[in-house]
């Protein structure tokens, strides 16, 4: 080691360097004493070994020292926490009420199921979601209305004063739509005393009919007992009418009411396909027990006028409230450009709660068994609209009043 080198191989000041530093410090203190300035506080001489150890320690960020620090970490204190209690305050109810799904879940547009919106959604693997269109949004709203809770059994009567206007078709389609989109029990009853065709349009099973049920009503005490006389179309139970005209003539009001008393005990919705006309005995019981009424007509001169006369007859026989709450279905399998359909619709809208137009559909026009999957989209949408209108009355405390204003004349 040379005399000019002031450090050892480890980089620590040697003895000569320390002596020179001490002499320099003593001379500085003597000069400060002569000048009258206070001397600098003596700095403890560092140990070379401690310097080496300190240089080998990892460095950490420095934090400001807190007064009264006792070596324990101070935990943060909530502004509302009472001192020394160690308990957090109860959450504010108003704040908790704001934590709803709509408030905290990021917006997710409904997945489109048809049209160009679905094509774009599928082509991009879901990365681009244009949402649903107006038509699909309307369908979702109708499904929500249709699925509303039903507090008890509800009876729907489908009737017409004129045959051949699609009354049985409407009854069958309405039953299928309600049964498919609701989770409760739905049954369609053919109350036509003249060999009705409701079962033919749904299951083609007529070996057991309502006549067999009437003969065994005393022994019918469970849903299983009733199911012995019904057939199944999807989720819809179907109770066929008697196919022998001589026997069906005995299906009167008293028997109809007894049958409905049993059906409403086990089914949430009972749809009655009444016979043609309004004056037969079973029809009296149908109107007396109906919670909702569907009148079927056509947008033609004879079909519209007969449907309007049906409403007149019902009002004249004490069913004015039922007419005000009724839904009119205009079956458009027969149409003509010469007929003002807007005038026909406005006439019934002024007299009843709602009007639904059922468009022509080749699957329904064939007259065979009905399959909802074979219907065109406009037909299916109309049936959803019809079911939604009827479901609006499920929770209604009272029937709505008649619309004010004059009724457009069909004459």
Domain ranges of the chain: 110-146, 151-391
The CATH homologous superfamily for domain 151-391 is P-loop containing nucleotide triphosphate hydrolases (3.40.50.300)
CA distance 45 to 232: 103
Determine the pLDDT at residue 52.
46
Range of weakest confidence among 4-18, 208-222, 228-242, 348-362 = 4-18
Determine the pLDDT at residue 243.
78
Phi then psi for 70, rounded to 5 degrees?
-110, 10
Task: Please tell me which residue, 1 or 227, carries the higher pLDDT value.
Answer: 227
pLDDT value at 82 more than 60: no
Question: Which residues on neighbouring strands pair with residue 119, listed in sequence order?
Answer: none
- Other Cβ atoms within 10 Å of 11 Cβ, number: 10
Task: Please tell me which residue, 58 or 357, carries the higher pLDDT value.
Answer: 357
102-154, pLDDT tens digit by residue? 566 555 557 777 788 888 888 888 788 887 778 888 888 889 999 988 988 99
Range of weakest confidence among 44-53, 165-174, 359-368 = 44-53
Determine the pLDDT at residue 246.
63
Q: Do 250 and 256 meet the contact criterion of CB atoms below 8 Å apart?
A: no
**Best CA proximity match to 189, nearest among 134, 101, 257, 120:** 257
Mean pLDDT score, 229-239: 94
Mean pLDDT of the chain: 79
Determine the pLDDT at residue 9.
53
CA distance 310 to 300: 15
């Amino acid at each position: 080691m040379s005399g000019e080198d002031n450090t050892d191989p480890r980089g620590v000041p040697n003895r000569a360097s320390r002596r020179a530093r001490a002499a320099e410090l003593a001379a500085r203190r003597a000069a400060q004493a002569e000048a009258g300035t206070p001397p600098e506080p003596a700095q403890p001489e560092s140990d070379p070994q401690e310097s080496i150890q300190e240089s080998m320690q990892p460095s950490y960020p420095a934090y400001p020292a807190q007064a009264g620090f006792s070596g324990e970490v101070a935990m943060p204190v909530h502004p509302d926490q009472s001192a020394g209690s160690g308990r957090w305050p109860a959450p504010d109810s108003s704040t908790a009420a704001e934590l709803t799904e709509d408030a905290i879940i990021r917006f997710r547009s409904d997945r489109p199921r048809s049209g160009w919106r679905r094509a774009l959604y599928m082509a991009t693997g879901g990365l681009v979601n244009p949402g649903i269109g107006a038509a699909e949004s309307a369908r979702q709203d109708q499904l929500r209305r249709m699925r509303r809770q039903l507090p008890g059994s509800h009876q729907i009567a489908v009737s017409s004063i004129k045959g051949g206007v699609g009354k049985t078709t409407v009854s069958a389609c309405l039953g299928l739509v309600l049964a498919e989109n609701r989770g409760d029990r739905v049954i369609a009853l053919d109350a036509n005393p003249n060999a009705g065709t409701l079962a033919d349009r749904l299951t083609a099973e007529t070996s057991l009919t309502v006549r067999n049920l009437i003969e065994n009503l005393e022994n019918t005490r469970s849903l299983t007992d009733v199911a012995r006389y019904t057939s199944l179309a999807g989720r819809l139970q179907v109770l066929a009418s008697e196919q022998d005209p001589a026997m069906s003539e005995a299906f009167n009001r008293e028997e109809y009411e007894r049958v409905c008393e049993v059906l409403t005990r086990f089914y949430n919705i009972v749809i009655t396909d009444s016979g043609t006309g309004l004056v037969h005995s079973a029809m009296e019981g149908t109107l007396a027990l109906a919670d909702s009424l569907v009148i079927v007509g056509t947008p033609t001169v004879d079909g519209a006028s007969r449907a309007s006369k049906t409403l007149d007859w019902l009002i004249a026989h004490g069913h004015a409230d039922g007419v005000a709450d009724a839904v009119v279905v205009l079956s458009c399998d027969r149409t003509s450009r010469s007929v003002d359909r807007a005038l026909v619709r406005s006439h019934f809208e002024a007299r009843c709660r709602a009007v639904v137009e059922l468009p022509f559909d080749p699957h329904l026009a064939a007259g065979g068994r009905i399959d909802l999957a074979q219907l065109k989209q406009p037909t299916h949408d109309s049936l959803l609209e019809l079911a939604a209108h009827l479901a609006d009355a499920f929770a209604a405390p009272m029937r709505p009043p008649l619309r004010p204003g004059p009724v457009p004349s069909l004459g």
